[in-house]
Amino acid sequence: MTTGWGRAQTCTVDWNNVHQRIDGFGASSAWRSTWSTAQADMFFSTNNGIGLSLLRNHIAFASSASASATPTTVETGIMTMAQARGALIWSAPWTPAAGFKSTNDIYDSLKATANGINGGSFLGGDATNQAYASQLANYVLNIKNTYGINLYAISIQNEPDASVNGYEACQWSQANIHDFVTNLYNALVAKGVGSTKILLPESQNWTDPKNLRSTALSDANVAPDVAIVADHNYVANNLVGDLTTPAQLSAGGKPTWETEVSQIGPGGGGNVYDGSITNGIYWAWRIHLFLTAAQLNAWHYWWLIPSSGNTDNEGLTDISGNPAKRMYALGQWSRFVRPGYYRIDASTTAGSAFISAFNDTNSGLFAIVAVNTNGSTAISQTFSLNNFPIVTSVTPWITSATLSLSNQTPVVVSGSSFSYTLPARTVVTFVGRAVASSAIPPTLTAITDQTMNAGQTLLVTNTATDPNVPPQSLTFSLLANPSGAVLTSLDATDAQFSWRAPVSSAGTTNPVTVVVTDNGTLLSATNRFNVMVNPLSSLPSVNSINASGGQVTLMVAGPRGPDYTLLSTTNLTDPVGSWQVLMTTNSPITPVTLVDTNFSDPQRFYLIQIGP
């Protein structure tokens, strides 16, 4: 690893010298089913977390090889919370159902174990391709309809070239992948989820040594259905780290993602946990090289939080969820370099600090990330901003042995230049905004479309940022909203949209427009999103009714979300408005038990209403 020499350096950052688009930074929640709000914020919030913009999750294989079967995942909790914080969600299967596989591996002599789940290889063929593609499309549709999760992408197979039979795995050939792509694309389109992108091959090693992507990408009838080319980055001896410069992945013009890496021993495990800044600087250096040398569009670590027993470096935290410095080192990019940014040129007169730069021409926001790998020497670094619009200041954020993604005093930019001392063994991100004038509008973190059931209450936090120094006062307002919705200020930069969808809104799409305005030159930013209210799955129905001991008990089934009200009368000809309200339950878990505790009439009629 190159180190610094403690002398003055100059880096020229050119706004107009543009390289690759950035799709984001992420990690995986594979197999983890329980999450707290604090954990979701730590990983995905751009206000008080590291702002990951991508979440990779594990697809659990279906119980049969039927085309109608639906694979599942236990990770819907974190998927929902990550999506609510602006992250894109994508999924990867570790194995198909055993009925889609041969027990023999393709690339070694291993045999499948665990009833054909661990190891083996994909059978291929029209029948298998069509049935398995249908299953994966069922999965995408199910998590959308059941949990409101809009899957950004789906992988065909995790590590299709890995030689393992100690955990879920399946080997695929070039031909398998080529033949499956169009089947999966057609199945997604048929289920109405054709916007979900197809990702392949997710080889165990960077640049795909078995060239599993090549047959699909070289076929003009298949290549258009492939959206992302991705690989992992494991090396023969991962314990000591990878000291090579990653090559650019040949991808036929597709975005390239690195989708899994960590420091684990051969065969998994074996590396002692290291949450130090030394380890964090190693990973910062690797991220820098992947962005600048390999020119990838997205980078992922392996686990967010490792599963119990994995006391090595497979997670961004330890097994208890305590952050390692590598988590904050990743956050030096992920919190500030958002999807849709572009890498711009950052060239240095001498290579003592590793520097990369990124901008968003729509907002004028930019981030310059500098890594000082030297363990004992600071670097006096000057940044020259070429072709930038007006920049008045930048704010440094630092991760070091004592600081964890900590913001520092803003630095004045004078004559399109600023200087800063990069402390030894640190990652420093300089965040700023280039504008055509000194008036800088606020920004709002984008909100994705929301899906809910009638009767439920939707809470969506709209987060604003005002880059002016000092920050101006912000006012939130609703320009478009469904009847009954309110917007409440939570603090200086956040406002919460709240709406309880009435039963009458079932099956509707409701546009929402949130505006934030500053108190300077009254500049504003706007969030627009839709709230889709699912159709009612059914109407209330009485499963059973029992009268005993002066009370009547009704067991009622129906949709989840609405309130259930029990009304009664002794005269069936009475108008509904005159019926007596006996009880109301608030958004119960159905079936719900409704009780009339004062049954004394020779005959009584009951009515079940759902509301509001």
Comparing C-alpha atoms, which of 442, 465, 281, 301 is closest to residue 369? 281
Tell me the pTM.
Answer: 0.72
Burial of 274 from C-beta contacts in 10 A (0-12 / 13-18 / 19+): middle
- How do beta strands 426-433 and 494-500 pair? unpaired
| Under 8 Å between Cβ of 405 and 328 | yes
For residue 130 the two structure tokens come to 């069509």
Contact 103, 120 (CB under 8 A): yes
**Cβ atoms of residues 270 and 311 within 8 Å:** no
Architecture of domain 23-339: Alpha-Beta Barrel (3.20)
Which CATH number is correct for 344-433, 2.60.40.1530, 2.60.40.1180, 3.30.930.10, 3.90.79.10?
2.60.40.1180
pLDDT at 73 (0 to 100): 98
Cβ–Cβ under 8 Å, residues 282 and 324: no
pLDDT at position 437: 57
Q: Which fold has domain 541-611?
A: Immunoglobulin-like (2.60.40)
Contacts of 240 (CB under 8 A, 6+ apart): none
The series of mean pLDDT values per 10 residues for the chain, 612 residues long, is 51 97 98 96 97 98 98 98 97 98 97 97 98 98 97 98 97 98 98 98 96 98 98 81 90 97 65 91 96 97 91 93 98 98 90 92 95 94 94 96 97 95 97 77 91 93 83 88 92 94 94 90 87 91 86 89 91 89 87 84 87 89
Distance between CA atoms of residues 150 and 159, nearest Å = 24
Question: CA angle at residue 232 from 227 to 235, to 5 degrees?
Answer: 155
Closest among 444, 400, 407, 397 to 424, alpha carbons compared: 400
Q: Could you say which of 1.10.630.10, 3.10.105.10, 1.10.1530.10, 2.60.40.10 is the CATH number of the domain covering 443-533?
A: 2.60.40.10
- DSSP H/E element including 24: strand 24-28
pLDDT of residue 156: 98
What span, in angstroms and rounded, lies between the C-alpha atoms of 51 and 341? 14
Task: Give the span between the Cα atoms of 76 and 545, in whole angstroms.
Answer: 36
**What are the structural domain ranges in the chain?**
23-339, 344-433, 443-533, 541-611
Residue at 147: amino acid letter: Y
In this prediction, residue 603 carries a pLDDT of 83
**Residue pair 79/147 in contact by the 8 Å Cβ criterion:** yes
Domains 23-339 and 443-533 share a fold: no
Burial class of 207 by CB neighbour count within 10 A (0 to 12, 13 to 18, 19+): middle
Q: For residue 394, which of 404, 403, 381 has the smallest C-alpha distance?
A: 381
